[in-house]
Amino acid sequence: MSTLGPGFVPAPLAQLPWKIILLIAAIGVFGLLVLYSAAGGDLQKWAMPQGIRFFAFLAMAIALSRVPEGFWAMAAFPMYGVILAMLLGVELLGAVAGGSQRWLDLGLIRLQPSELMKPVIVLTLARFYEILPAGEIRKFGAIWPAAVLIGLPAGLVMLQPDLGTALMITAGGIMVMFLAGVPLRLFIGGALGMAVAAPLAVNFLLHDYQRNRVLIFLNPESDPLGTGYHISQSKIAIGSGGIFGKGFLNGTQSHLDYLPEGHTDFALATMMEEWGLLGGFFLIIAFGLLVRWGINVGVRSQSRFARLAAAGLATTIFFYVAINMAMVMGLAPVVGVPLPFISFGGTAVMTAMICLGILMSFDRQNRKVVTW
């Protein structure tokens, strides 16, 4: 950058975090190639609409990066309130319409308030721990408000029912609590408690189809033609791709329709069938760099809000990627979490871009601090 004179590029443009934008674009363009192939070489079917969405949301992320850090801190609670109200509204609307409705149609995408809650829960808790006096952190007062803040939206989303999103909201919130310094023993105890509670939850809290997914995850062969079919076909796609893959447009599992949801939740399998282990490593490394950058943004931040929020947002992206990959490779139950920038659909792109936009805004703030 420094070799370019300041006169060549307009200052606002030069100030953009180009490395990160290029990294995101690389993942996104790769995703478009995967969708182009998943559609059997049809550009119009998925790649084109997804491309428009991707670049629109990238532009939105860049726009968000111009928002000052202080705005996020200030707006955190109001946003939380609005989205919680929307969640409630969707729930009521669904009850009226006589079915489970999760979204509001916004044209470009169908907006799911639960998606917006993913970054907003992080901002809200970051803000909460920022204003919480430092000495209070080891007290119960540091825990129960956070638990309520997480529990309300997570509970509403569970009612929809959307297990994957509810889990991500909960996990995102808990990560912020962890980063804020809530005593470690709580997390260890919580993990143990989960181990005990999980079987109970599976038995009593989950819907039948959710419970089935969990049980089938534990024993995929029990249902090779039903839900277990997704996992087996996905593993076949990945396993048969080998190290170098079958080649672009040459995947048989996806093109012959053996792989269900090959362009949405299971896009990773579609990709790895054609690009092999190398494609898989590329995505893990690329997302790894992205998450590492996000956490580093937090580490470099000056305010407690920005530190907690940055690391929390980065972790939200991490959850997306890790849960999706684990699910596609048969390491986790099929919970319906897409792979951001790869899977077809606007929701995940939007959420991830909001996270990245806010991260870029914190990053911009840090640089300002540095230049000062």
Partner 1 sequence: MRITEAAQAYSFSRRALMLGAIQGGVGLVLAGRMTWLAVLENEKFSLLAESNRINLTLTPPRRGWIVDRNGRELALNRAAFRVDLIPDQIEDQEHVLKTLQQLLGLTPEDVARLQTDLKRSRGFRPIQVSEKLDWERYAALLVRLPELAGVQPSESFARYYPLGAGVGHLLGYVGAASAEQYAKEKDPILVAPGFKLGKDGIEKTMEDVLRGTPGAKRVEVTAHGKPVRELETRPDTPGKNVKLTVEMGLQEYAARRLGTNSGSAVVIDVSNGDILAMVSMPAYDPNSFSDGIGQSEWKMLSEDDHVPLMNKVLQGLYPPGSTVKPMNGLALLAAGIDPHAVVNCSGAMQVGNGVFHCHKRGGHGGVDLRRAVAQSCDIYFYEMVRRVGYDAVAPVARSLGMGQKFTLPFTTQRSGTIPDSAWKLKRYKEAWTVADSLNASIGQGYVLANPLQLAVMAARLASGKALVPRIIADEPVQPAPPLNVTPEHFAIVRDAMFAVVNDGGTGGASRMLVPGVTLAAKTGTAQVRRITKAERASGVLKNAALPFKLRDHALFICFAPADNPKYAAAVVLEHNGHTVRNLDTPLIGRDIMTYLFDKEMALKSLAEVEPSWGGDYKTRMAEQAKAFQATQSAPPPPTPEDTEAAADNVSAAAAAATTNTIDTDAADTGSVEPDE
Chain residues that interact with partner 1, rule: CB under 8 A: 134-135, 137, 175, 178-181, 233, 235-243, 252-253, 256-258, 272, 276-277, 280-281, 284, 288, 291-292, 295, 298-299, 304, 307-308, 311, 315, 318, 322, 325-326, 329, 331
User: Distance between CA 35 and CA 29 in Å, rounded?
Assistant: 10
Least distance (Å) between residue 128 CB and partner 1: 14
Please list the residues that pair with 105 across neighbouring strands: 110
Nearer to partner 1, 30 or 318 (CB): 318
- Which one, 183 or 199, has the nearer CB to partner 1? 183
Q: How far is the CB of 280 from partner 1 (least distance, A)?
A: 4
Q: Which is nearer to partner 1, 280 or 338 (CB)?
A: 280
- Tell me how crowded residue 278 is: count the other CB atoms within 10 A of its CB: 13
Contact at 8 Å (CB) between 270 and 233? no
Q: Which of 328, 305, 339 is nearest to 72 (CA)?
A: 305
Q: How far is the CB of 293 from partner 1 (least distance, A)?
A: 11
Provide the β-strand partners of residue 110.
105
* C-alpha dihedral, 64 to 70 to 72 to 78, nearest 10°: -140
Yes or no: say if 72 and 358 are a contact pair by the CB < 8 Å rule. yes
φ/ψ of 336, rounded to 5, equals 80, 45
Cβ neighbours of residue 16 under 8 Å, at least 6 residues apart?
62, 65, 360
Give the whole-angstrom CA distance, residue 17 versus residue 158. Answer: 37
Question: Rounded distance, CA 231 to CA 213, Å?
Answer: 10
If the CB atoms of residues 173 and 241 are measured against partner 1, the closer one turns out to be 241
Least distance (Å) between residue 21 CB and partner 1: 22
Q: What is the closest distance, in whole angstroms, from the C-beta atom of residue 258 to partner 1 in the complex?
A: 5
Residue of 102, 103, 190 whose CA lies nearest to 146: 190
CB nearer partner 1, residue 70 or residue 242: 242
Q: What tokens appear for 244 in the block?
A: 């170098």
Nearer to partner 1, 116 or 322 (CB): 322
In the block, which residue shows the tokens 């790894």? 288
Q: How far is the CB of 193 from partner 1 (least distance, A)?
A: 19
Residue 265 phi/psi, 5-degree rounding, is: -60, -35
Nearest residue to 80 via CA among 167, 144, 169 = 169
Nearer to partner 1, 36 or 318 (CB): 318
Identify the helix (H) or strand (E) that includes residue 24.
Answer: helix 18-38
Rank residues 75 and 137 by Cβ distance to partner 1 and give the closer one: 137
In the complex, the smallest distance separating the C-beta of residue 130 from partner 1, rounded to whole angstroms, is: 10
In single-letter form, the type of residue at position 97 comes to: A
The least distance separating partner 1 from the CB of residue 326, rounded to whole angstroms, comes to 7
Closer residue to partner 1 in complex, CB, 11/256:
256
Residue whose pair of structure tokens reads 């606007």 in the numeric block: 346
In whole angstroms, how close is the CB of 24 to partner 1 at the nearest point? 18
